[in-house]
Amino acid sequence: MTTGDVMDIVSVPEAIEWQATHAEQAGAPGTAQVVRALLTLEDSEAATARRIFAWQGLSLRDAMPLRIAGGIHNLLLTSDEPRLEAVYAGRMPSQADVDALIKELVETHDARLLPWLDGPPQTNEAGRSASFAAALLWLADGRTSPRFEWLEIGASAGINTMMGRYRYELGDVHAGPQGSPMIISPEWRGNSPPNTQFTLVAARGNDIAPVDLTDRSEALRLKSFVWPEATGRMARIDAAIMLAEDEPPHIDRMDAGQWVKAELAKPQEQDVTRVLAHSIMWQYLPDATQDLIEEAMREAGARASADQPFAHISLETNRETFAHELHVRYWPGGGEAVHLANAHPHGAWVEWLGG
């Protein structure tokens, strides 16, 4: 089944089972058990259960199973349901026992869990900035100006919008400010990226429902969507919160298409490369929004010049192979997409394919 077919799943049980299997394959067996336990809610009278099984729309494109999984994880993070710790720690191997626990929790915390179905999960991940940084190093290696204006759509809490403040260890190449509390050091496969440096002279992001990292409750909500097994991801969120308290990222609440159109039409600084970037979010955009963004990029590419370059960096899922691929286009230079790397969706490793 291709990614496109998966995103078209309407069946709620099929979506739940697919998401559970995906979590298992991604090294999160406890989360897989929690998601699979949702199947037992089909005969529950809880409002949360009824809404899950009466879902209107494409269950996986809407990330419905992950919405409620985040709410359940939140019960553990707030210490309201410490029994969940045994599930995520692998001390409750019986799926039947997990089924019974999750059904009990959903029915007990029905009113609290129901609103978690109102919006998509926010899964902001600093580890993805390793791929972004490698792409900027590649561009800075004689292709464009090494000074960048960073524009990110689907920026969520702006964790990757702050990437200019992170320290990177990318194979044999180190970049970014020394002494940063955020160290991005993925398992690096293949050759190292170009050994140069880059500077972000400006960085802004966009999201239809941005998360304020300086708001304790919103930061906790963001953590809730991180799978509990991913302790490294939790540590990176804590480091991002520390940096945001010092200087919050600039995130605009706006439709992505309209935001890109407006931002790319603004005057561009000389000898600064304007970059539009996004990660693991393109497939969730409506077709009309994708078309508007593509049109705005074509116009920006046509206007680009040697002293006002434009680039597009994407880390997105290949619909045929499920691989998360890093592609870069830049203008002037033809605008052809270059496949620079494959990467783990949360940044655990990067396989460099570029020169």
pLDDT at 319: 74
Tell me what pLDDT residue 204 has. Answer: 98
- Give pLDDT < 50 ranges for the chain: 1-3
What pLDDT does residue 193 have? 98
Interval 266-300: pLDDT, tens: 999 999 999 999 998 998 899 999 999 999 999 99
Predicted local distance difference test score (pLDDT) of residue 5? 66
3-state SS, one letter per residue, for the chain: CCHHHHHCCCCHHHHHHHHHHHHHHCCCHHHHHHHHHHHHHHHCCCHHHHHHHCCCCCCCCCCHHHHHHHHHHHHHHCCCCCCHHHHHCCCCCCHHHHHHHHHHHHHHCHHHHHHHHCCCCCCCCHHHHHHHHHHHHHHHCCCCCCEEEEEEECCCCCCCCCHHHCEEEECCEEECCCCCCCEECCEEECCCCCCCCCEEEEEEEEECCCCCCCCHHHHHHHHHCCCCCCHHHHHHHHHHHHHHHHCCCCEEECCHHHHHHHHHCCCCCCCCEEEEEEECCHHHCCHHHHHHHHHHHHHHHHHCECCECEEEEEEEECCCCCCEEEEEEEECCCCCCEEEEEECCCCCEEEECCC
pLDDT digits (tens, 9 = 90+) for 214-229: 999 999 999 999 999 9
At 7 the pLDDT is 65
Q: pTM higher than 0.85 for the full model? A: no
